[in-house]
Amino acid sequence: MALSQSEVLAGLAEIVNDETGIATEAVQLDKSFTDDLDIDSISMMTIVVNAEDKFGVKIPDEEVKNLITVGDAVNFITAAQG
């Protein structure tokens, strides 16, 4: 069964926390991965691959550059679960 947007956000926040140590509460929909959360490209790719595993979705490499904010990623994952 597909997860809701808030469930995806919570799951993604755990992945971000595990990779970077950033508090899960700080991972909010309007936050930019690079500008607000200071996540580099290497951590971003690790987060993407872990998100694919966790949510059972495929996030193509060419799509990753469009995931500017946490909300972008949550929306993509929520839709991809479809």
Partner 1 sequence: MSHKIVVTGVGATTPLGGDVQSTWRALLAGESGISTIEADWVSGYELPVTFAGQAKVAASEVLTPQEAKRLDPSSQFALIAAREAWADAGSPEVEPERLAVEYATGIGGVWTLLDAFETLKERGPRRVLPMTIPMLMPNGPAAAIGMDIAARGGVRTAVSACASSTEAIANAITRLQSGEIDVVVAGGCESGIHPLPIAAFAAMHALSRNNENPAGASRPYDTARDGFVMGEGAGAMVLETEEHALARGAKIYAELVGGSVTSDAHHITAPDPEGTGAARAVLAALKQANARIEDVVHINAHATSTPVGDIAEYTALRRVFGEHLDKIAVSATKSSTGHLLGGAGAIEAIFTVLALRERTAPPTINLEHQDPAILLDVVVSPRKLPDGPILAISNSFGFGGHNAVVAFRSYN
Stretch that binds partner 1, among 1-9, 13-21, 24-32, 69-77 (CB under 8 A): 13-21
* Tokens, residue 16: 């971000």
* 32 torsion bin: left (phi>0), alpha (psi -120 to 50), beta (else): beta
Tokens matching residue 60: 């193509």
79 binds partner 1 per the rule CB under 8 A: no
CB of 45 to partner 1, least distance (A): 5
Q: What one-letter code names the amino acid at 33? A: F
Could you give the string, one character per residue 14-53, with x where binding to partner 1 holds by CB under 8 A and - elsewhere? ----xxxx-------------------xx--xx--x--x-
